[in-house]
Chains A and B, each alone.
Chain A
């Protein structure tokens, strides 16, 4: 059976090397995971809808504890602390970057840090005899053309950014890719319309009462006519936003 070496046995150079390696590894993985936003924050950014609501909730909590802060004061304070944390994280983690690159030991754990009540679903419609028919509606089992692919994890990660209305060139690339796929199918109609359908998730109490999400306006509608589509020219679709999804 295993037995630890006697605790008082003299330490050999390899024991010190092992300690140095473990310390370096812990440094390499722990520093990038310091709780902090992915990029610098400004008061303007903290005044946008989602961030402002989060800040208002925290200000309300602080007010209940007797600490009154205006939005400006709170935003300035949060931005200052967050930006210092980012600067410290970047400075301390830089020396270990080659090790992280080789070992893949890179991480930051901003998962579901904020979950918005405003979401959106991808919708793919086909124009046939001038009328739009649904081909794919996310989470609708009745309309799942290419659903297996579109729901796959990495495709989901690709489309997730569109929910916050970012990555428009990637969205256009997706539209072109979908239209070219459909064009090659014998049952294809005349053209395709792709859009993001905005949805609002009610509060738990409201949801218990209504049992439904609120369907809002669609955004980013993109139409493609199959006849006018040059799929060979797709080789060269724009690359944008190479950042990794959190």
Chain B
């Protein structure tokens, strides 16, 4: 055990670097999410009611408070179009891996300006997108799995290390989101004394439902109740993720629980459940880009080295 005090140990730990593969996959996911979100708004004709003034087809007068929105004169149609174009350019840069931190910063500020126009039409996905973009500003996520990487070296994969702590902050974001929302589920409908009715109600409420699934939900009511219990446990269980990762980082130390957790690699189980849940939400409920942006953070559950090993295995001619 190091004799250093914890601040010094923490400062030393934050110097750790790793290949950018995990952050690169998150970068691609975030870019696709932004493009998908903006594309969906255009396809559904919901830009003008939500982000313009009544004179231009909007629902109500808007009073943007964000600095960029005010600076460009939003919500005029030209300003909103410009902000959407900037956000799309940033999203495209992130997807392709061009512009790196600049793409993330441009997309972030443009989206913050757009989100500020009509905050009531936002939700958790807006916060998750902006938080993810800010984390992508903090590290050169386009170092690998990017067009920039290919243009420089004629290889898609670059094992050069970048700051590892940014990936930890992405994991922290996942923990905060899932554990936070799980702990705030106080309605009796999440528990046995409320008949585990929460997911059933959410699936049947026209506020969120994508389809009328009344007959289907009624046919599998006990399964939906089980899903309510499992999803709550899974969310709250994310509070244990830092401990699982700590055990993984200290795998040579003794301890039966540590050994079992490492052998099972509970990260994979948590991620598999999460993917199933988010794909289920995507199909059955209208929650905008929430599922896509959440899943975009999952690659960071594995380190750059782990992704590097898998990438080596998948493309033996291009060592990672």
Contacts and interface: CB of A to CB of B under 8 A. Distances in A.
Given A60-B193, A148-B45, A242 B17 contact: no
A91 interface: no
Contacts, number: 290
A19 B109 CA distance: 25
Interface string B200-230: 1110111111111011011101101100000
A167 B60 CA distance: 12
* Chain A interface category by residue count: 35 or more
A204 B220 CA distance: 9
Nearest to A170: B60
Contacts of A201: 197, 200-201, 204-205
* Contact-residue size bin, chain B (C-beta under 8 Å from the other chain): 35 or more
A167 B7 CA distance: 49
Contacts of B287: 153
A70 interface: no
Interface stretch (A25-33, A125-133, A186-194, A218-226): A25-33
B11 A212 contact: no
A5 interface: yes
Contacts of B77: none
A139 interface: yes
A58 B120 CA distance: 31
A22 B164 CA distance: 12
Contact of A107 (B66, B176, B191): B176
A35 B178 CA distance: 12
A227 interface: no
A47 B218 CA distance: 31
Interface in A212-246: 212-213, 234-246
Interface in B214-257: 214-215, 217-219, 221-222, 224-225
B181 interface: yes
Contacts of A241: 120
A114 to B, nearest CB: 4
A153 B14 contact: no
25 contacts: A1-B19, A11-B12, A16-B11, A19-B7, A33-B180, A57-B191, A104-B133, A106-B130, A107-B124, A108-B180, A111-B184, A113-B186, A153-B288, A153-B289, A154-B50, A154-B121, A155-B46, A167-B120, A173-B59, A201-B205, A207-B217, A207-B221, A213-B214, A239-B62, A246-B123
The 3 nearest A-B residue pairs measured at CB: A104-B130, A153-B288, A57-B188
